[in-house]
Amino acid sequence: MIYKKFITFEGGEGSGKSTQIKLLAKKLIPSSQICLTREPGGTKSAEQIRRLLVTGKVDKWSSLSELLLLFAARKDHVDKLILPALSNNKWVLCDRFIDSTYVYQGMCGKTSMETIKKIENLVLGNLKPGITFLLDIEPKIGLSRSKRPGNKELRYENMDFKFHKKVNSSYLKLARYNKKRIHVIDANKSKSEIENDIWNMIKKKTL
């Protein structure tokens, strides 16, 4: 099922997703209730799994172990937070969702798209976001923002630069295959220009 009020944000490291989610939430708050969340994470148990994924050595997991951890976190998140919020007619603004898995583990990793699809069917059934914003940023700029001092969640950031360039081009490819749902936003623009681009699309598509 496609939920119009289920909005996901995707993009490489340091693309400004979390900033834009907060800005969009501020705009939506007067009209209704909002659930701001993220993946991996979003619930207490999923946040515990997040820590296992985003810290430590780049090669600490086999590709299948990593995929199963991501989906274990996602199952908890969907069942305990996302679906209850959507059934209460709330907006759900989620920082990353299933597209991250297709890009990072599938197109750029060692997992086949068929394996991801099978587990997606099991975990999500036909749950789909209504709109996805892809914040498209030059990987060098994004990584330099994300590798700021104090950020301890650097496992993905520490993957080699080639990987991050592939993440960038794979997202754009995925967007071309899902033109109706995924909207590419030029995240090299200023914060307020990006905010306006996102808001104009939300107004056109949902309000």
CB of 3 to ligand TMP, least distance (A): 18
**Looking at beta carbons only, is 39 or 197 nearer to ligand TMP?**
39
Question: What is the side-by-side strand order in the sheet with 34-38?
Answer: 34-38, 91-95, 2-11, 128-136, 182-186
Q: What minimum distance in Å lies between the beta carbon of 206 and ligand TMP? A: 23
> Of 12, 16, 9, 10, which Cα lies nearest the Cα of 187?
16
13 versus 195: smaller Cβ distance to ligand TMP: 13
Stated as kind and residue range, the H or E segment containing 72 is: helix 63-77
CB of 46 to ligand TMP, least distance (A): 10
In terms of Cβ atoms closer than 10 Å to its own Cβ (0-12, 13-18, 19+), residue 15 is buried
List all residues 6 or more positions away from 120 whose beta carbon is below 8 Å from its beta carbon.
71, 98, 101
**CB-nearer residue toward ligand TMP: 130 or 139:** 139
Tell me the closest approach of the beta carbon of residue 30 to ligand TMP, in angstroms.
28
Structure token pair of residue 70: 């991501």
Contacts with ligand TMP by CB under 6 A lie at 13, 38-40, 54, 70, 96, 100-101, 104-105, 156
Nearer to ligand TMP, 9 or 91 (CB): 9
